[in-house]
Amino acid sequence: MFISSVKKITDLTRVFLEPSNSTHRQYEALRAYFVDKLSSKEAASRFGYSRGSFRVLVHQFRQNPHRPFFLPPTKGPQKSPKRGLVREQVLALRKENLSIYDISRVMETKGHPVSAARISLILKEEGFARLPRRKDEERPAAARPVVAPLADARQLDLSPRQCRTRFGGLFLFMPFMASLPFDQILHEAGFPGSKMIPAGHAVRSLLALKLFGSARHSHVMSYVLDEGLALFAGLNAIPKRSFLTEYSCRIDPQGYPRLMRAWFDALETLGIDRGSSFDCDFHTIPFHGEDALVEKHYVSKRSRRQKGILAFLAQDAATRVFCYTNADVRKESQNDEILRFVEFWKQRTGR
């Protein structure tokens, strides 16, 4: 029969003699000094203190001898009464068919702000399912975004009135545009339009955003309620983002040369002198789609080559008027684009 020697798994005295945290160690060191009458050097050495730090510990204890080394057990309810009340109110509001966002707004008005994420967790813990999608008339009364009217030139109200607008500077261009047959030029160029938004009104909407700043067409939603912007375009409301971003895709590529020729001839009626010096430049318009036919061109702003549409621009150096452009330049024809501009200039001016 095999008999092994008795081996203690745990020595319970070590729990008291070997402190496991700093508070316990301070208590045992001070007890050894004041109760067991050990010297300062012996107490510091036994519990791992330097002589200087132990003297500081003794000094602090003399200043505050009633320091609590042992925390009393907590009594009373372990749950917050306020949290329990909030949970009950959230459940009661959900039984009224309110969404988590509706509940959050109601709780905030009652002085108990609760985030929508917290409400979602409470409802999930209680086994509530998500609400089905509701119609606007089924939702509780609350502040909602103002719906802008549909853009329709036939609904434009020209009765005398006053309005505030951020786009007042656009109307400085109106005398210049009124002196040109703008709508007729676009019609002859074959630009698309409808009874609600004719071609001239659509292009004026795009032109207004470009004249006002460099914001993209997708940012127009911030200004759909501005009457001044809509008035400049000749509409009751500015077209929305989807219309403006898709309009260029509806234009026949042959319409751009026709527009350029008609625009060039129309400027002659304004008495603008023809310059003899031009600023010419190739500009890459970045393309972020997956069209395999789009070539890579150098983008100077990013100092790299990437997919994009290469455009050629010619501007009169004296009058700063654009007199030629082509946004369909391919790599194989890039070197000949300036010659095409020269040919175009000779055809239109005879020189």
Question: How confident is the model over 124-135, as pLDDT tens digits?
Answer: 888 888 888 877
Which range among 8-12, 43-47, 255-259, 330-334 shows the weakest confidence by mean pLDDT?
8-12
Question: Rounded to 5 degrees, what are φ and ψ at 304?
Answer: -160, 165
**Which of 60-69, 130-139, 258-267 shows the lowest mean pLDDT across its residues?**
130-139
Mean pLDDT of 178-194: 90
Asked whether residue 81 carries a pLDDT value surpassing 70, the answer given is: no
Amino acid letter at 291? D
Could you give the 3-state DSSP secondary structure of residue 256? helix
Q: How confident is the model at residue 269 (pLDDT cuts 50, 70, 90)?
A: confident
Q: What is the mean pLDDT of residues 311-325?
A: 86
CB under 8 Å to 258, separation ≥6 — which residues? 188, 189, 190
Please say if the pLDDT value at position 4 is more than 60: no
Helices (H), 95-136: 100-109, 116-125
Flag whether pLDDT at 217 surpasses 70.
no
pLDDT at 5 over 60: no
Instruction: State CA 8 to chain mean position distance.
Output: 66
Of the ranges 15-24, 28-37, 41-50, which one carries the lowest mean pLDDT score?
Answer: 15-24
**For position 68, what pLDDT does the model report?**
80
Residue 16 CB contacts under 8 Å (≥ 6 apart), including other chains: 28
Structure tokens, 89: 């109110």
Q: How confident is the model at residue 215 (pLDDT cuts 50, 70, 90)?
A: low
* Residue 54 reports pLDDT greater than 50: yes
Q: Which residues contact 307 (CB under 8 A, 6 or more apart)?
A: 286, 287, 288, 289, 291, 294, 295, 296
Position 7 scores a pLDDT of: 47
Q: Which residue has the higher pLDDT, 220 or 42?
A: 42
**How sure is the predictor about 216, in pLDDT bands with cuts at 50, 70 and 90?**
low
124, with CB counted inside 10 A (0-12, 13-18, 19+), is exposed
For 63, the 3-state DSSP assignment is: helix
Q: Which residue has the higher pLDDT, 308 or 276?
A: 308
Please return the burial class of 130, using the count of CB atoms within 10 Å of its CB with bins 0-12, 13-18 and 19+.
exposed
What is the per-residue pLDDT for 1? 41
Query: Does the pLDDT value for residue 78 go beyond 90?
Result: no
Q: What is the pLDDT of residues 86-105, one digit of tens each?
A: 888 898 988 888 888 888 88
pLDDT bin (cut points 50, 70, 90) of residue 9 is very low
Q: How confident is the model at residue 232 (pLDDT cuts 50, 70, 90)?
A: very high
Q: What pLDDT does residue 191 have?
A: 92
Whether the CB-CB separation of 233 and 247 falls below 8 Å is answered with: no
d(CA 220, CA 207): 12
Query: Angle at which helices 182-189 and 255-268 pack, to 10 degrees?
Result: 150
Between CA 146 and CA 93 the distance in angstroms is 27
198, pLDDT greater than 50: yes
Reduced DSSP (H G I as helix, E B as strand, rest coil) percent helix, strand, coil of the chain, to 5? 50, 10, 40
**Strand, coil or helix: what is 105?**
helix
Percent above pLDDT 70 for the chain: 91
**CA-based end-to-end distance of the chain:** 123
Tell me how far apart the 2 most distant CA atoms of the chain are, in Å.
123
Tokens 């150096």 locate to 317
**Residue of 303 and 235 predicted with greater confidence:** 235
> Which pLDDT value is given to residue 2?
45
Burial class (CB in 10 A: 0-12, 13-18, 19+), 323: buried
